[in-house]
Amino acid sequence: MGPLESLSAIRESGIVAVMRKMEVDTCIRVAEALLEGGIRVLEITVDAPRAAEMIYSVSQALQGEALVGAGTVLDPEAAVAAIQAGAAFIFSPCLDPEVIQTANRYGRVAIPGVMTPTEMVQAASAGAPAVKLFPASVLGPGFIKQVNAPLPHIPVIPTGGVDERNAAEFIRAGAMAVGIGGSLLKDSVERGAFHEITQRARSLVERVLEARA
């Protein structure tokens, strides 16, 4: 899948599920639970020792049924390692033009973290097709509504503090999609209650669809 197709898949999904610091087998089970609940874009953060293995294993296990990418990518080296493991997209909590250039060089989508209109424009100028508003809870949905007026050509994906209570509000404000992790998984991973993850995923998908309608 090329960068335009990946971006389209993220837009269509409306939800990017963030999976952080898990064992490989657990990561696969969580990914399957999320997919069963209707979430088809999965971000595996690279701040774990076996992150590349997780990206590869989940990609293989889901066999193209979900778009799997990397998150918390801080430098070009981490981007290359994630891409070589099979990451279809690269999310960063910060803006680094070299990470964007690296992803573009390998035909992947790079979505850097931003917090100001200036950073949004800098990210777009560096080649990013969308930006990650982080931490989104600090600025809130109103920021997206306001910034969309002068910068409607830069899609925004709020992440950080997004949960089932405010996800729809971010979508209605103009967000292309939302990134959500801890509030979606909660303590269900530790307890092995993967059915709860599926239920939350299904509920979140419904809320996003209603907000778009």
Strand spans (E) along the chain: 15-19, 41-45, 67-71, 89-91, 109-111, 113-114, 131-133, 156-158, 178-180
One of 23, 53, 77, 132 is an active-site residue; which one? 132
43 is annotated as an active-site residue: yes
Backbone angles phi, psi at 134, to 5 degrees: -145, 135
The rounded distance, in Å, linking the Cα atoms of 49 and 134 is: 24
One of 32, 43, 77, 190 is an active-site residue; which one? 43
CB 162 within 8 A of CB 137: yes
The rounded distance, in Å, linking the Cα atoms of 193 and 207 is: 22
- Nearest residue to 42 via CA among 50, 32, 170: 32
* CA distances from residue 190 to 163, 196, 197 in whole angstroms, order as listed: 19, 12, 12
Give 94's Cβ-side CA count (13 Å radius): 6
Residues known to be catalytic: 43, 132
